[in-house]
Structure 1
Amino acid sequence: MHSTANFRGAIFMCLAMAGFTCNDALVKSVTGVMNSGQIMLVRGFFTYILVLLLARHFGAMRSFRLVLSPAVAMRIAAEVAASIAYISALGQLPLANASAILQALPLAVTLGAALFLSEPVGWRRWLAILIGFLGVLIVLRPGPDGFTGAALSVIASVVFAAIRDLCTRRIDHAIPSLFIAVITATAITATGAVLIVPLGGWQPMSAGTVGTLAVASILLLVGYQFIVLAMRNGEIGIIAPFRYTSLIWSIGIGILFFSEEPDIWMVTGVAIIVASGLYTFARERKRRMATPAQESEPGSP
């Protein structure tokens, strides 16, 4: 029964990564005809409509005054900043490279949890985090040519996404996830509207472009829903490594649709990031398994 739940969780995680990566590819495909603000506005509008309908259907709507909660407000701000940084970079970086840098997110969350939430991190996981970030540097390519503005934007999106995830841990569990999605989509859509003029103004859109962003918003929502299902079905230490299937999608889509060819730097960096991430997941799973065992020992506090 337990193995069946983990199998379902792994499948859901793979589907979530497929949704997220295909969303990224569709967004990347329209970066040449509109600016990041317009993309955020149009895709955000479709996402807002979808999550609002879902939230109303499941009775998840709450007072918007909850935005005044520090954890909620900071989470929304971090999500908006991560979206701006990542969408800005997608049009200038190969899809596989952007996806590879994003794989450092679990390491960044572990680092943040240790520094700001006082979660225990042993020397082995500290070493894995450092090695993982070394892998990110290799993907960026050693030397000044690798540190482009787009590459730094993806790194910034990882930092903001880590802040978002850490803030999520502090949000009251009584606040439904769908309601958080509604206010986040609202904030992203409004921010996109504000950024359109500073980033170059509104550009006419074809029906195909609008349809592309509508499908992207659906895939984004699919990714979020499946990742929730994954976390609720399987053990995190077992299913979390399947997030790396996004690299398979991003490399394949990059080759087939964007004529991108992974080079030795990218492949080497990805291998290091994945290896360090898998080790971190394994250590975390071992720690979680050991804690209940210690608590159950006679005389333990």
Structure 2
Amino acid sequence: MSLSLNSRGAALMALAMAAFTCNDAIVKLLTFDLSIGQIMFMRGLLTTILVYAIARYAGALAPLRDMLHPMVLVRSAFEIASTVLFLMALNQMPLPNISAILQSLPLAVTLGAAVFLREPVGWRRWSAIVVGFIGVLIIVRPGPEGFTGAAFLAILSVFTTAGRDLVTRKIPSHIPSLSITVFTASTNSLVGLALIPVLGGWQPMDTMMTLQLATTAVFVFVGYQSIILSMRIGEISFVAPFRYVSLLWALAIGYLVFSDVPEPPVLLGAAIVIASGLYTFYRERKRRRQKVPVPQ
């Protein structure tokens, strides 16, 4: 794969992380007044309207039979599970803490690729995966005082998000990314609507809340579209490390908006996770270079 495609994929991944982190901050503010189901419904509805209009204008709407492709359906299921788990955790955890846990996502993707896609993973990368998840344990600090149900939900969201990213690679290339985004946003909205009575009912919204939800719709669109394009045009081993910029955004926003200052174990665990992830990417790129035949 050419360097230009990888560079574009990396830039798109960095953009997706910035968009998702800004979205997370606004959503966390909204959880003080609105239920998770209501947020999912309204954000998904506004995102669907926005993306549908763009896709229709661009002529990028796939026929329904393409959107019912098994890989698209599985991806949507993973996305819904990830959204619900993440929002439930976000409601209870500081933004930098949950972002630190999410830095283990590339390790989970590597683990999933090895277990489910039978991609070869040597002992060095297996060791890095183990060390990385030790870093996660340092972040959540299992025990009567450290570990919480919210941390468990955040860890589960890591694995469902990893499943989503792995399945994205299996979606046929003829299905437009915009159509996948429309389908993902609309299914999230419908699930959110179904969850409203279960998760606290409908709460009245003022103009500011509506504007905030509209802003999250824009961020979600940018994030969805950027990450789908990134995973489809770039090598996972090259683009995935750029997920780590989300922690920088989370640290800055957490401090400026919520006055959250991460405790030392959180920063130590995040550093271990990131170092382990970067090492796995280094080993993956080295393995790929060794596979390239030398010109005679």
TM tier, shorter chain?
A: over 0.9
* CA deviation after TM superposition for structure 1 residue 108, in Å: 0.7
Q: TM-score, normalised by structure 2?
A: 0.92
Aligned equivalents of 1:226, 1:68: Cα separation in 2: 22
1:79 aligned partner: 79
Count of residue correspondences: 295
Aligned equivalents of 2:41, 2:291: Cα separation in 1: 45
* CA deviation after TM superposition for structure 1 residue 68, in Å: 3.7
* CA deviation after TM superposition for structure 1 residue 225, in Å: 3.4
Q: Is 1:159 aligned to residue 171 of structure 2?
A: no
Aligned equivalents of 1:120, 1:94: Cα separation in 2: 36
Q: Could you say if the C-alpha distance between residues 265 and 285 of structure 1 is closer, same or farther in structure 2, counting changes exceeding 3 Å?
A: same
Q: Could you say if the C-alpha distance between residues 5 and 168 of structure 1 is closer, same or farther in structure 2, counting changes exceeding 3 Å?
A: closer
Aligned equivalents of 2:242, 2:66: Cα separation in 1: 34
Q: Could you say if the C-alpha distance between residues 198 and 8 of structure 1 is closer, same or farther in structure 2, counting changes exceeding 3 Å?
A: closer
1:252 aligned partner: 252
Gaps of 5+ in 2: none
Q: Could you say if the C-alpha distance between residues 119 and 233 of structure 1 is closer, same or farther in structure 2, counting changes exceeding 3 Å?
A: closer
Aligned equivalents of 1:40, 1:261: Cα separation in 2: 28
* CA deviation after TM superposition for structure 1 residue 100, in Å: 1.0
2:59 aligned partner: 59
Aligned equivalents of 1:169, 1:98: Cα separation in 2: 26
- Residues 28 and 91, structure 1, Cα contact 8 Å, conserved in 2: yes
1:290 aligned partner: 290
Q: Alignment partner of 2:203: what SS?
A: coil
The Cα offsets for residues 89-140 of structure 1, whole Å up to 9 and x where unpaired, read as: 1111000111111111111111111111111111111111111111111110
Aligned equivalents of 2:110, 2:196: Cα separation in 1: 35
Q: Alignment partner of 2:59: what SS?
A: coil
Which 10-residue stretch deviates more, 280-289 or 61-70?
61-70
Aligned equivalents of 1:63, 1:282: Cα separation in 2: 40
1:120 aligned partner: 120
1:25 aligned partner: 25
Which 10-residue stretch deviates more, 2-11 or 212-221?
2-11
* CA deviation after TM superposition for structure 1 residue 38, in Å: 0.3
* CA deviation after TM superposition for structure 1 residue 10, in Å: 4.7
2:195 aligned partner: 195
Gaps of 5+ in 1: none
Aligned equivalents of 1:121, 1:160: Cα separation in 2: 21
Q: Alignment partner of 1:145: what SS?
A: coil
Letter in 1 for 2:182: V
Aligned equivalents of 1:228, 1:74: Cα separation in 2: 15
Aligned residues: CA RMSD = 2.2
Q: Alignment partner of 1:144: what SS?
A: coil
Alignment of 1:129-140 (within 5 A): 129-140=129-140
Q: How many percent of aligned residue pairs carry the same amino acid?
A: 54
Aligned equivalents of 1:183, 1:252: Cα separation in 2: 32
* CA deviation after TM superposition for structure 1 residue 64, in Å: 2.2
Which 10-residue stretch deviates more, 126-135 or 15-24?
15-24
* CA deviation after TM superposition for structure 1 residue 169, in Å: 2.2
The Cα offsets for residues 252-271 of structure 1, whole Å up to 9 and x where unpaired, read as: 11111111111011011000
Aligned equivalents of 2:9, 2:48: Cα separation in 1: 27
- Residues 236 and 285, structure 1, Cα contact 8 Å, conserved in 2: no
Aligned equivalents of 1:234, 1:190: Cα separation in 2: 31
